[in-house]
Amino acid sequence: MTTGEPLIVLDKVNKYFGPLHVLQDVDLTVDRGEVVVVIGPSGSGKSTLCRAINRLEPINSGTITFDGRELPAEGKALAKLRSEVGMVFQSFNLFAHKTILENVMLGPVKVRKEKASVVRERAMKLLDRVGIGNQADKYPAQLSGGQQQRVAIARALAMEPKALLFDEPTSALDPEMVGEVLDVMTSLAREGMTMVVVTHEMGFARHAANRVVFMADGQLVEQDTPDAFFGNPKSDRAKDFLSKILTH
């Protein structure tokens, strides 16, 4: 469900960690409502790409534009941008000293200064939606990994973001919990949420993504629809990578 209207635009983005050239002239456009899955070998720069989009990681050259504006460098404007881009981490990162409900409410109340009573209602709806409504008063450590990740998604949604970034959201989960998280993500994709998803879940890529982007050694090697990419990868790197993950 893409609109052809760009929301996230990366133009010739370069990023170094010391001598390591982690992002090399990366160009990428994500349209409003589009779901882009990023795959590639470990260390190819997928996380860095994801984190660059909300400037958790500053870049060295090139430009990143979100919703028509270049990313602000620091301060209040940057904080505001981040509040419009939700992020879901591999290790959940729920606030350990806050209850589940507080985790979801914190952003809208503290960052956006919304009224707690209004936010509480929205937060409970979101928790119900991800199937955690009855655990609202527990602390993160009391929940399973799959439950924590669903709360993390609810926390991101509570800010009513224009886009969601996922960095390997199911990689830290026991296999039996992967499905429950992917189900939530799939339903978000169907509803038209703009999503950039770093994942190795090929099933999700096939049925939920509009586009698959393949990264290797800091470069976007190829991108295509899921059917075309998985059915007929063009580059040797992609063929090699797919043969490795699909033969298991």
Ligand X SMILES: Nc1ncnc2c1ncn2[C@@H]1O[C@H](COP(=O)(O)OP(=O)(O)O)[C@@H](O)[C@H]1O
Binding-site ranges for Mg ion (CB under 5 A): 47
Task: Decide: is 245 part of the binding site for ligand X (CB under 6 A).
Answer: no
Is-contact 129 160, C-beta < 8 A?
no
63 forms bridges with which residues in the sheet? 11
40 versus 233: smaller Cβ distance to ligand X: 40
Q: In angstroms, rounded to a whole number, what is the distance separating the alpha carbons of residues 77 and 75? A: 6
User: Closest separation between CB of residue 17 and Mg ion, Å?
Assistant: 13
Binder of residue 199, out of Mg ion, other proteins, ligand X, none (CB less than 5 to 8 A by kind): none
Phi and psi for 239 in degrees, rounded to 5?
-60, -45
In the window 22-61, what residues touch ligand X (CB under 6 A)? 22, 40, 42-48
DSSP state of 42: T
Query: Going along the chain, which residue ranges are E strands?
Result: 6-17, 20-31, 35-39, 61-66, 69-70, 85-88, 163-167, 194-198, 211-216, 219-224
* Residue in the shown chain whose Cβ atom is closest to ligand X: 47
Cα angle 116-53-144, degrees, rounded to a multiple of 5: 55
195 forms bridges with which residues in the sheet? 35, 164
49 versus 153: smaller Cβ distance to ligand X: 49
Range in contact with other proteins (rule: CB under 8 A) among 10-18, 93-101, 202-210, 219-227? 93-101
In the window 48-87, what residues touch other proteins (CB under 8 A)? 54, 56, 74-76, 79-87
User: Closest separation between CB of residue 109 and other proteins, Å?
Assistant: 10
Is-contact 34 194, C-beta < 8 A?
yes
159 versus 208: smaller Cβ distance to other proteins: 159
In the window 96-135, what residues touch other proteins (CB under 8 A)? 96-97, 106-107, 110-112
Is-contact 34 213, C-beta < 8 A?
no
42 versus 117: smaller Cβ distance to ligand X: 42
Give the per-residue contact string, 147-186, with other proteins (x = CB under 8 A; - = no).
-----x--xx--x---------------------------
22 versus 156: smaller Cβ distance to other proteins: 156
Candidates 13, 28, 34, 89; binder of other proteins (CB under 8 A) is: 89
| Amino acid sitting at position 217 | D
Query: Going along 56-193, which residue ranges are E strands?
Result: 61-66, 69-70, 85-88, 163-167
What residues line the site for ligand X (CB under 6 A)?
Answer: 17, 20, 22, 40, 42-48
